[in-house]
Structure 1
Amino acid sequence: MLQELIIQDFAIIKKIDIQFFNGLTALTGETGAGKSIIMDALGLLLGNRGLSEYVRSGCQKALVQGLFTVEKNNQALVNKFCQKHGIDFSDQNLIIQRELQTNGRNICRINTQLVPVSILKQLGKYLVDISGQNQSQSLLDPSTHVHLLDEFGAEQIAQPLATYQSQYQIYHKLKKQLANLQNNQQQRAQQLDMLQFQVQEIQTAALQVNEEEKLIDEQKKLANFERIHSSLQKAYTYLAQNNTGIVEQVSDVLKAMQNISEYEDEYAQIAQEIESAYYDLQDSQERISQQLELQDYNPTRLDEIEQRLQLIHDLEKKYGNSVAEVIAFGEKAQQQLQQLQQEQQDPQQLQEKLHHQTQLLQKAAQQLSQNRHQTAKHLTQSIERQLKSMYMEKTTFEVRLTPQDYTEQGNEVVEFYLRTNPGEQLKPLAKVASGGELARIMLALKTELAQYQPVGTLVFDEIDTGVSGRVAQAIGEKMAQIAQHVQVLCITHLPQVAAVSDQQYLVKKEISRQHTVAAIANLNPQERVDVIAHMLEGTKVTAITRQHAQELLRLAHDN
């Protein structure tokens, strides 16, 4: 519950410190006095949008701080949330602070821990529920009705809904896979064809690492065959020509030196060197002879090499800068091809899975529908009972469930129908309900949901607009009834509602140093009589009016 709200330099509020208590608290005051500003400030602590225009004129920043005590039935959820976000929650209290600056900057803290605004919004749903005229209007949107029905019947609906949604997720995924498969079959076929072509082209080439370098060497030899053959032939002739060949001449030189080697060591040394050269030349002559015998010009082989090199160059243009890169590309393409072939699903097989999942989903939907229909009956009875107590005894309320395609929320549309006068047809709520009727229906729902509320504070912001007399009295009593389960704060212009409150605050404007500021006062019993008398008759308060106010208060607190 909200224990304290401090507001400083916010709109026309200079500084106020409001203490709140259990039960029903009414905020009263003339239109424009600042009641809604207090609700705007509270909304900031719950993550609502903060505007720099909220900062009071002449100030640099506005500050709003709230002290919340978390109810026992909600402490586990809040504790888990705080642990997740590193927020201290050791004393079961939360001090939420938000600072707005004129430059647009927001500073948010929870128990002194800096947090983003989004965390305030997430935490706020565990603390406060605000119902205003806008939320009453939200009843006109049928899409909200299923959530209200499920909230009312949470004990019966939560588990079947969770089961259904789990089955729906699988069903939705299979439907999407089948649609994608059907839509992408042509694209997948094109990708398969491309990969198969690439793999086959590279595998057919049967490339070898370093093959290109060897072929280039062989190509050079064949392209220069005549030059190579001529040079080898010339070298062989110089070495081996009879009588005049270099080898024969060196042999003669060797013999000459050997004839005198015994006379001088130097001669012997020279003879040895010439002998070594002679054998080297003889070996070279033999090797050149062998090379000449191996020389065989084959123009067909040259064509083959050039064609092979052209193939390699073509593959390198497509798949890489070298043979090694082309081979690596082929291996990767082979892996992709295998993976794509493995992932390729048979549409028929997928349709069978979808058919089976549809049966499971249908079963879950039937259970959910059964529980919702039962809950709808209970909600109908409860709302009609509540409406009767608010003088709508001739009103018929009905929850209709109409079949539709499977969605995340089920396979039925939930919509509230209403008949305000006997003999008329039931019609959708949006077509028949007035503002006052919407407020009472919203209040009836809140009354029924109060004991299940996950929050500790309910706020009603002028939802009683457009009603008066005994209906206003009934609305006040209904709020008091809700306040037996949770703390209730209400902004009201109705004296009947103010009278049944446990605490009443008066918000009013004051002039301070030529500036308008909002002030708030917790009224004592006598002050409440005066204020309620003004609410009854306006500016002219008579003894009869005051007596009427006293009677309202007495009746409210005797009940």
Structure 2
Amino acid sequence: MLHTLRLKNFAVVEEAEVGFGAGLTVLTGETGAGKSILIDALGLLVGGRAESDVIRAGADEAVVEGLFERTSALGARLAEAGLPDDGDEVSIRRSIGRQGRGRAYVNGALVTVGVLQRLMKSQVDIAGQHEHMALLDDGQHLSLVDRFGELVDSEVQRAWSASWDALREVNAKLEALGGDEGQVAARIDFLKFQMEEIERVSPKPGEDVALDQERRRLASSVKLRALVGSAEELAATREGAALELLGRSVGIARDAEKLDPTLTPAREALVRAQSELDEAARALSRYLSSLESDPSRLEEVDERLDAIRRLCRKHAAPLEGVLAKRAALAEELDTLVHRSERRAEVEAERAKLVTAAETAAARLTVERRKAAQRLTKSVMEGLSRLAMASARFEVAFEAATLSSSGADAVHFLFSANAGETLRPLAKVASGGEASRVMLAMKAALADSDSAVCSVFDEADAGIGGAVADVVGRLIKDISGHRQVLCITHLPQVAAHADAHLRIEKGEVKGRTRSVVQALDAGDQRTRELARMLSGVEITREALGAAEALIRSALRHVKPQRARSRKRGEQRRSA
């Protein structure tokens, strides 16, 4: 549930903070007053696209903030995304800069819009005045059935998804083994050429590093011999070398030790130093003995290094990458050479997976047909309440090629009048009829949808007369399951509100701005309904009609609550 919405420098709103409660909140006002601005701001908080033209003229930045109730679903998503979890509420903030650069924050942590979308997915259901147009799109019908049947993340849906993923993977293997014989032969020749090119050099792991070290040693052999020879001479071989001097020091320390035993550790340290120096001198001597000055070997090393480096440049990879590519080439070559046998294996695997996928898809179809029957009944009940008792609605199924959505193609069929043939909804429903079907669909989804807040942005467009009160009752019923925010021009709908907000546009110091006013349950609300009924001049008759609408709406509350309790008891017993 949305608790608070705060806007600053957003469109024509300079600054506003609006509190929302449970149940039905309606937003009314003259056309162009800025009612939809609040809905646009809410859309940003659930990950909608931000445009710099929403920034109020003269400001550098627009800011939208919202406080949402922390549900268990939101808590789990916060943990999954590694975001702070601050208890009972989730704070979301969007800022939009003049240069198009914006920021999004969740509980104070900077996030990408993608993360925000995943966090708030399905939490807020926004239905605009053209929402019924989406209902006319056959591509949306299957997802609506799945939502109604609570199949979106069900066990049967997960089983199907796993089967489809396995089948898609094996299809990719078959595709890799496909192609005509000419293409395969050309690929085999190319792989063999590349393999032979690498094999001619036949590099070993780490060979380039070892050769580089050997090259440096061979190229510097004269200088190395002089340096190492000098080091050996100073350490051990010349008269007065370090080893000779250290030997004398050990002898003197030994004589001193006889006079003072506390010198024993010092004498032992000198002995250790003498031993280590002797070993170092021997190592220098051995190095000199092994040091070669071989121009022909240097030439061999240079040629070998050059061949390895050319190979690495050609394949745009270090030696380790070339060796890995050789292994990959060998594997692909073996697969293509023996592709007939490999293809037979993969096709046998695919046949098993197709059977498993068809079984999983059939299970999903069974559940969808059950959901479709319940959806048909629920929508028909809603249409009957919306003064379309003679209308018929049906969910038609067709078998479809296996795809990520299963093996079903679903179409909504509709007939507005008795005796007429059911036809696709898009071809026979007028705008007003489609709006009523959409409202009936929303009412049907109220129990099964995961959204905690539904928004109707003039979704009652094209509806009027006696049906308007029924629409109000239907939206009021939906608010018994979740928070509902409704922008409306119909006083019959507004009369059913638990809270009423009026949006007004005016001028302050030559600047246009919209303000949000919460109306009290008495005179303010009655006068607003009267304005909606009569226009600019509020007559006594309009006030009386407004009071009658409010009384009628209050009479609807008790039956509606009783039905809500009954549905809750049925869900608990189920």
- TM-score by shorter chain over 0.5: yes
- For structure 1, which segment, 421-430 or 186-195, has the greater mean C-alpha deviation from structure 2 after superposition? 186-195
Which residue in the other structure is 1:306 paired with? none
Give the Å deviation of 1:504. Answer: 0.8
Which residue in the other structure is 1:138 paired with? 134
Question: For residues 96-495 of structure 1, what are the structure 2 equivalents within 5 Å?
Answer: 96-154=92-150, 158-183=154-179, 186-193=182-189, 338-340=330-332, 342-344=334-336, 345=339, 346-495=342-491
State the secondary structure of the residue aligned to 1:25.
strand
The 1:199–1:431 alpha-carbon spacing in structure 2 relative to 1, beyond 3 Å, is closer
Which residue in the other structure is 1:84 paired with? 80
State the secondary structure of the residue aligned to 2:145.
helix
* Structure of higher CA gyration radius: 1
Could you give the per-residue CA deviations for residues 533-557 of structure 1, whole angstroms, max 9, x where no partner exists? 1111212322121111100001101
Check if 1:13 corresponds to 2:5. no
Kept in 2, the 8 Å contact 1:129–1:458? The answer is yes
The 1:192–1:56 alpha-carbon spacing in structure 2 relative to 1, beyond 3 Å, is closer
Aligned residue identity for 1:490: C
Which residue in the other structure is 1:40 paired with? 40
Could you give the per-residue CA deviations for residues 69-98 of structure 1, whole angstroms, max 9, x where no partner exists? 12xxx41x3223212333221313111111
Could you give the per-residue CA deviations for residues 488-541 of structure 1, whole angstroms, max 9, x where no partner exists? 000000000000111111111122111111111111121111111111121232
Q: Distance in 2 between matches of 1:204 and 1:100?
A: 61
State the secondary structure of the residue aligned to 1:103.
coil
Give the Å deviation of 1:380. Answer: 0.8
The 1:480–1:557 alpha-carbon spacing in structure 2 relative to 1, beyond 3 Å, is same
Could you give the per-residue CA deviations for residues 246-301 of structure 1, whole angstroms, max 9, x where no partner exists? xxxxxxxxxxxxxxxxxxxxxxxxxxxxxxxxxxxxxxxxxxxxxxxxxxxxxxxx
Which residue in the other structure is 1:545 paired with? 542
Aligned residue identity for 2:496: V
- For structure 1, which segment, 175-184 or 89-98, has the greater mean C-alpha deviation from structure 2 after superposition? 175-184
- For structure 1, which segment, 25-34 or 112-121, has the greater mean C-alpha deviation from structure 2 after superposition? 112-121
Aligned residue identity for 2:335: E
State the secondary structure of the residue aligned to 2:513.
strand
Aligned residue identity for 1:86: G
Q: Distance in 2 between matches of 1:544 and 1:148?
A: 44
Aligned residue identity for 1:366: A
Match of 1:557 among 544, 551, 554: 554
State the secondary structure of the residue aligned to 1:183.
coil
RMSD: 3.3
User: Alignment length, in residue pairs?
Assistant: 447
Give the Å deviation of 1:349. Answer: 2.5
The 1:438–1:201 alpha-carbon spacing in structure 2 relative to 1, beyond 3 Å, is closer
Which residue in the other structure is 2:58 paired with? 58
Q: Distance in 2 between matches of 1:361 and 1:534?
A: 60
Aligned residue identity for 1:65: E
Which residue in the other structure is 2:4 paired with? 4
Kept in 2, the 8 Å contact 1:150–1:157? The answer is no
Give the Å deviation of 1:185. Answer: 5.3
Q: Distance in 1 between matches of 2:325 and 2:408?
A: 49
Q: Distance in 1 between matches of 2:381 and 2:335?
A: 59
State the secondary structure of the residue aligned to 1:83.
helix
Kept in 2, the 8 Å contact 1:195–1:333? The answer is no
Aligned residue identity for 2:509: R
Aligned residue identity for 1:353: E
State the secondary structure of the residue aligned to 2:155.
helix
Could you give the per-residue CA deviations for residues 399-424 of structure 1, whole angstroms, max 9, x where no partner exists? 01111211111112011110111222
Aligned residue identity for 2:36: S
Kept in 1, the 8 Å contact 2:151–2:157? The answer is no
Give the Å deviation of 1:427. Answer: 1.0
Kept in 2, the 8 Å contact 1:131–1:461? The answer is yes
Give the Å deviation of 1:157. Answer: 8.2
Kept in 2, the 8 Å contact 1:98–1:109? The answer is yes
The 1:24–1:371 alpha-carbon spacing in structure 2 relative to 1, beyond 3 Å, is same
Q: Distance in 2 between matches of 1:496 and 1:39?
A: 21
Give unpaired runs (5+ residues) of structure 1.
Answer: 207-314, 323-327
Question: How high is the sequence identity, in percent, across the aligned residues?
Answer: 34
The 1:335–1:440 alpha-carbon spacing in structure 2 relative to 1, beyond 3 Å, is closer
Aligned residue identity for 2:468: A
Q: Distance in 2 between matches of 1:104 and 1:512?
A: 28
Aligned residue identity for 2:537: K
Give unpaired runs (5+ residues) of structure 2.
Answer: 203-302, 311-318, 557-574
Give the Å deviation of 1:339. Answer: 2.5
Kept in 2, the 8 Å contact 1:35–1:507? The answer is yes
- For structure 1, which segment, 443-452 or 146-155, has the greater mean C-alpha deviation from structure 2 after superposition? 443-452
Give the Å deviation of 1:179. Answer: 2.8
- For structure 1, which segment, 407-416 or 433-442, has the greater mean C-alpha deviation from structure 2 after superposition? 433-442
Q: Distance in 2 between matches of 1:30 and 1:202?
A: 78
Q: Distance in 1 between matches of 2:57 and 2:200?
A: 83
Aligned residue identity for 1:434: S
Aligned residue identity for 1:16: A
Which residue in the other structure is 2:500 paired with? 504
Kept in 1, the 8 Å contact 2:147–2:449? The answer is no
State the secondary structure of the residue aligned to 2:407.
strand
The 1:389–1:320 alpha-carbon spacing in structure 2 relative to 1, beyond 3 Å, is same
The 1:500–1:337 alpha-carbon spacing in structure 2 relative to 1, beyond 3 Å, is closer
Give the Å deviation of 1:66. Answer: 0.9
